[in-house]
Chains A and B, each alone.
Chain A
Amino acid sequence: DADVTQTPRNRITKTGKRIMLECSQTKGHDRMYWYRQDPGLGLQLIYYSFDVKDINKGEISDGYSVSRQAQAKFSLSLESAIPNQTALYFCATSDGTTGGYTFGSGTRLTVV
């Protein structure tokens, strides 16, 4: 089993729909992150959480919300999806020491 599992792997949704992307980890790390990748823009931070009671906005949090249900689970929601949220979404975890992250395989989201 992968250390960081993202579901679904691919999703097509319609404009205005609410959608949730899920992430679970078996690394035992406290820190979890959601990043978005767009072609030519690299990885941009959406939200991050340093423990279950700690949730922080990243650089592009507008239009997104998150829930840290447990140490191992961190979900990302798009309340009302719009086409420019079409992107590849990555969840990651870290133990906060040297900065190394473990990433999931990503969710490819298309909003039509």
Chain B
Amino acid sequence: DQQVKQNSPSLSVQEGRISILNCDYTNSMFDYFLWYKKYPAEGPTFLISISSIKDKNEDGRFTVFLNKSAKHLSLHIVPSQPGDSAVYFCAARPNSGYALNFGKGTSLLVTP
């Protein structure tokens, strides 16, 4: 049963605009949430994370928001750039220390 869900397989955004990628989870026992970015023919790379005790974490153009009551997190990219075009995976770590659970990914295309 998928505990981390990314319901939008793809998203297209114009350069300079905001990209918002969404993720929902079903298990309250996650202590960290992470976003990974993947280019074709490469492994995923870590982008940004947030602890379950926070509701926002910002790193440059990337901000992750966590809404625990809704079991929802989102990644905001502002401004979006063509180099941001990639597949983005949402992941969650159980507080038992088990391995990460990944969503199915959202393919972001940023057009000039």
Contacts and interface: CB of A to CB of B under 8 A. Distances in A.
Interface of A: 4, 33, 35, 40-45, 48, 58, 90, 92, 96, 98-106
Contacts of A98: 32, 49, 51
Contact of B105 (A42, A99, A106): A42
A43 B82 CA distance: 25
A42 B43 contact: no
A58 B6 CA distance: 21
A92 B38 CA distance: 14
B45 A103 contact: yes
Given A42-B89, A98-B49, A99-B34, A104 B102 contact: no
Contacts, number: 54
B31 to A, nearest CB: 8
B100 A101 contact: yes
Nearest to A43: B102
B98 to A, nearest CB: 8
A30 to B, nearest CB: 12
Nearest to A6: B43
A87 to B, nearest CB: 14
A100 B105 CA distance: 17
Contacts of B42: 105-106
Nearest to A104: B43
Given A40-B9, A42-B105, A43-B89, A99 B43 contact: no
